[in-house]
Amino acid sequence: MKIGIVGLGLIGGCLGLDFKAAGHTVYGVARREHTCEKALTAEAVDVASTRLATLNGCDVVFVCTPIATIVPMVSELAGVLSPEVIVTDVGSVKAALVEAATAQWPMFVGGHPMSGKSEAGIEAAETGLFQGNSYVITPVETATLKTDKGAITTLETLAKQLGSRLYHCSPEVHDRAVAWISHLPVMVSTSLIQSVINEPDNSVQQLAQALASSGFRDTSRVGGGNPELGLMMAQYNRKEVLRSLKRYQQEIALTIEQIEAEDWPAVRQKLEATKAVRSKFL
């Protein structure tokens, strides 16, 4: 297949490497000439260009630009591609963009390969990033829009070639699930760090920094991650992030109540329940 990739960052670069390894021809488009050169050097693409028209002969185009630019980019692609070309994206939120993108391009399929690493950019691209990880496909069906079945099948085939585990759900169910397991943890974790650094007693503050070990390290990890990503989650999955944060807030309030009331059986029951259930998520 001829595969186009718009946006040659970490995810675009990793897709290019894996699709080339699977025998496809990969056409990359980046805004800057310099990024095109780096993608060619990394052998993440066969052809690189700053012009979208380069993607005209592709079978499938992956939009790998930041969330805010996905719908505008689909709109731009609509002026360049022939109507049978499948367009998909890799954005980590879906409801905010899948319907809008499908309205622009009937052959659009929303997708979310759930892989990443702490380094960003084409320089960090590697083969096998998606191997064994989830790839969520989010078709839509409304009164006026319906994701093309053939386009879904093609995306499924490609995602399997990446070695991913495939899931299908609506954009709304996707956004609600990732709010729980990806976006809420970022807010929980950043708030933990923020409340510790607000400790006004300097000797406590310094001792806390000195004594922090694996418990604090793990619980605070995602709160110390890429601020842009955290902001995007809050902006583009606002409704579900707020829903999960408010339920979490109730849980924190309940914990405070139980400890204040010295209701130790309740505290024990909760700790036992969460220990027992956690393995289901791993």
Q: Tell me which residues in 187-216 interact with its own copies (CB under 8 A).
A: 187-199, 201, 203-204, 207-213, 215-216
- Residues that bind its own copies (rule: CB under 8 A) add up to a total of 91
CA distance 229 to 114: 14
Contact in structure between 66 and 40 (CB atoms under 8 Å): no
CB closer to its own copies, 82 vs 274: 274
- Which CB, 37 or 257, lies closer to its own copies? 257
Shortest separation between residue 46's beta carbon and its own copies, angstroms = 31
Which residue's entry shows tokens 């022939």?
Answer: 82
By CB under 8 A, name the one of 31, 41, 149, 181 that touches its own copies: 181
User: Could you tell me the smallest distance in angstroms from the CB atom of residue 173 to its own copies?
Assistant: 6
Site string for its own copies, 136-175 (x = CB under 8 A): x----------------------------x-x-x---xx-
Rank residues 141 and 262 by Cβ distance to its own copies and give the closer one: 262
Amino acid letter, residue 203: S
Residues 100-129 as x/- pattern, contact with its own copies by CB under 8 A: --------------x---------------
Token pair 């606002």 in the structure block, residue: 238
Q: How far apart are CA 134 and CA 178, in angstroms?
A: 12
Question: Which residues between 239 and 278 bind its own copies (CB under 8 A)?
Answer: 241-242, 244-253, 255-256, 259-260, 262, 264, 267-268, 270-275, 277-278
Q: Which of 82, 142, 144, 279 binds its own copies (CB under 8 A)?
A: 279
Provide the minimum distance between the beta carbon of 265 and its own copies in the complex, in angstroms, as a whole number: 10
C-beta of 250: minimal distance to its own copies in Å? Answer: 8
The smaller minimum CB distance to its own copies, of residues 50 and 249, is found at 249
- Least separation in angstroms between residue 208's CB and its own copies is 4
Contact pick of 22, 78, 120, 234 for its own copies (by CB under 8 A): 234
Least Å from the CB of residue 69 to its own copies:
16
